[in-house]
Structure 1
Amino acid sequence: MHSKVDGLIRRAGLRYPNADLRRIDLLDERGLNRQTLTQLGTCSFVTRQQNVVFQGFTGSGKSYLGCAIAKRACEHRIRAHYVRMPDLEEAWVAAQDAPGGAGKFLRKYAAFTLLVIDEWLLDKPTESMRTMLLELMERRYGETSTVFCTQYQQKDWHQRLGAGVHADAIMDRIIHNTTWVDTGTYNMREQTALATA
């Protein structure tokens, strides 16, 4: 039984494979809502094809939370995958050089029941990347769930997505059925470094 879960976790490519929602530190200092995290941990949002955004400052634990959610999904036998946006862009650029590569790429990333995109909008996407994101979000909309980990508040997304029709369309497919979690300004990396110093 466990080998199936272990396999799902291994293939999910988590940045923090040991991330655990039950071991999130300093909830109060960080302003994190325990009830929201517990609710997300049930993975019922995946069943409802809803999205989650973890938004907060650098070091506030967004990537850890994204990995913890993906790991919980794997424990629920849900096929999850973690990817950093710069790596997603690199994979997209490479895919376009292969015959049928673009379609294959989109099918692959559309198929994950839960996709965690970390460092969302850290770099402004190119036009080609925006076209791909629109197609990917269109395919995932109402079928699957996506978790976005980002430093940027919703009001900044449109500008970072190029502020045109692609930006409107991408946001339209993300923001309406989404749980927004503010991870705050508390720097967990700094805290961890101090604790181990």
Structure 2
Amino acid sequence: MISRCERDAIGDAIRADARKLCISNDTVGWFLESATPRQLDAVAGMLAHEIAVRGRNRKARLLRKAAFPAVKSVADFDFADVRMPDGHTVEDMLSLDWVEKAQDYVFHGQTGRGKTHLAVALGMRCVERGLTVRYLPCAQLVLQLQRARDSGGLDTMYSDLAKADLLILDEFGYIPLDSDGARLLFQVISSSYESRSLILTTNIEFSKWGTVLADEKLAAAAVDRIVHHGRLVEFGGKSRRVEESLMLGNVKEG
């Protein structure tokens, strides 16, 4: 038996060495040849625990980076009033294969139809897969881009956005942009083309994007890039917010 003091000293040494090491195959082979069964079980358990801890920590980092406005789940979403494009199913969407292929979605429908809910829920599924996601309302993104440009950090911000596997650009068209803001936002859309996936939520049909971007040619170029590898999903039905409104007395008591 070793004393508590000796055990603590050994523990400190193990912690210090563990922080330094990426264990080589030679060392693993040596250990497997020389270890007792109890030692094998102990080390296997330690490694499994470490992998689980790293997975949890990575997921937490990805969630913080994504900056989702709320926790949303596909399980809580009703697809009854969602019209998928021909030949494309809800299962295809949930598979997330389109993220690996840098394909896009435009979620179109009036306010309160669940566009943001589904976009965030898909983003959270991506995080569960270990993918990097960024959620950004368009108006907020444009303000951040303008501040970055004015402070000389625009290239750094574009580089940061480029690291994402999926960008969720929410509420496109809710606030019209001036030509300066439109050009900055277009650069995000253009640089994402065939490089990373976009989900863009909007209540504006393609033919009216020129009124949002303050430039018909810029709008045409943005639509051209998104449509090439993208799919349009239509959200119908009634406003979920109105149906669940406390003010209108539509929430059922539990």
Same fold (TM over 0.5): yes
User: 2:210·2:218 contact (CA, 8 Å) conserved in 1?
Assistant: no
Contact 1:57/1:185 (<8 A) preserved? no
Q: What residue number does 2:57 align with?
A: 3
Equivalent pair of 1:55/1:153 in contact (CA under 8 Å): yes
How far apart, CA to CA, are the structure 1 residues paired with 2:166 and 2:82?
25
Rg larger in structure: 2
Moved more, 138-147 or 36-45: 36-45
Task: Tell me the CA shift for residue 106 of structure 1.
Answer: 1.5
Query: Residue 28 of structure 2 aligns with which residue?
Result: none
2:115 is aligned with 1:115: no
Alpha carbons of structure 1 residues 189 and 110: separation in structure 2 relative to 1, 3 Å:
same
Residue in 1 that maps onto 2:183: 131
2:67 to 6, 13, 20: 13
Distance in 2 between residues matched to 1:37 and 1:9, nearest whole Å: 24
TM-superposition CA deviations, 1:6-43 (whole Å, max 9, x none):
321232111122x1112213x32x2455x733321211
Q: Where does residue 51 of structure 1 map in the other structure?
A: 104
Aligned partners of 1:31, 1:159: CA distance in 2, in Å?
Answer: 26
Normalized per residue, the structure richer in helix is 2
Q: C-alpha distance in 1, partners of 2:70/2:252?
A: 18
Counterpart residue type for residue 48 of structure 1: K
Q: Which letter does structure 2 place at the counterpart of 1:55?
A: H
Residue 70, structure 1, aligned to residue 123, structure 2 = yes
Query: Is 1:158 matched up with 2:158?
Result: no
- Whether the aligned pair in 1 keeps the contact of 2:105 and 2:233 (CA below 8 Å) is yes
**Matched residues in 2 for 1:151 and 1:89: separation?**
18
Q: What one-letter code is carried by the residue in structure 1 that aligns with 2:107?
A: F
Listed one character per residue, the Cα deviations across residues 33-64 of structure 1 (whole Å, up to 9, x for unaligned) are 5x733321211111111001111111101111
2:169–2:200 contact (8 Å) kept in structure 1: yes
SS of 2:251 mapped into structure 1: helix
The answer to whether 1:179 aligns with 2:231 is yes
Segment drifting more, 130-139 vs 120-129: 130-139
1:195 is matched with 251
Per the normalisation by structure 2, the TM-score is 0.70
Alignment gaps of 5+ in structure 1 = none
For CA contacts below 8 A with separation 6 or more, give which structure has more relative contact order: 1
Report deviation, 1:196.
4.7
Alpha carbon RMSD of aligned pairs, Å? Answer: 1.8
Q: Deviations over 1:75-128 (max 9, x none)?
A: 1111001011111111012112212x1211221222211000101121222111
